[in-house]
Amino acid sequence: MSKAAVIMTDGENTMTDTVYTAYGWLADKKLGTSNATSAVAELNSRLSKVCTATKNAGVIIYTIAFNGPEVSTQNLMKGCASQDAFFFNSSTSAALQSAFKEIGVSLSNLRVSR
């Protein structure tokens, strides 16, 4: 039985001095730094590592960038997807619905072909 994951984002990884996140305050250095740029680089690195480990475990990854994140985030999400065709850049609600429909068709084809 194959497993699949859909990872979706509507923005960039961010860390600031004024927002409390899952990693606490930036000044807490839970990402190894109190520098916002370095913290974002660490978050991006962690996402890449999670994607690599997930793909290595045999999980198929589909990714969706919704509502126009930066090109760097689009590239991060594209690299996370198991195939280039499994990355969707959905700038509208209609495009997002279409992406999920395509993912559903892809998964049903995968199931039928195995």
Going from N- to C-terminal start, the domains of the chain cover: 3-113
Confidence band for 68, pLDDT divided at 50, 70 and 90: confident
Residue the block writes with tokens 């039928």: 112
CATH superfamily of 3-113: von Willebrand factor, type A domain (3.40.50.410)
pTM over 0.85: yes
Instruction: Considering only residues 14 and 111, tell me which one the structure prediction assigns the higher pLDDT.
Output: 14
Cα distance between residue 64 and residue 66, in whole Å: 6
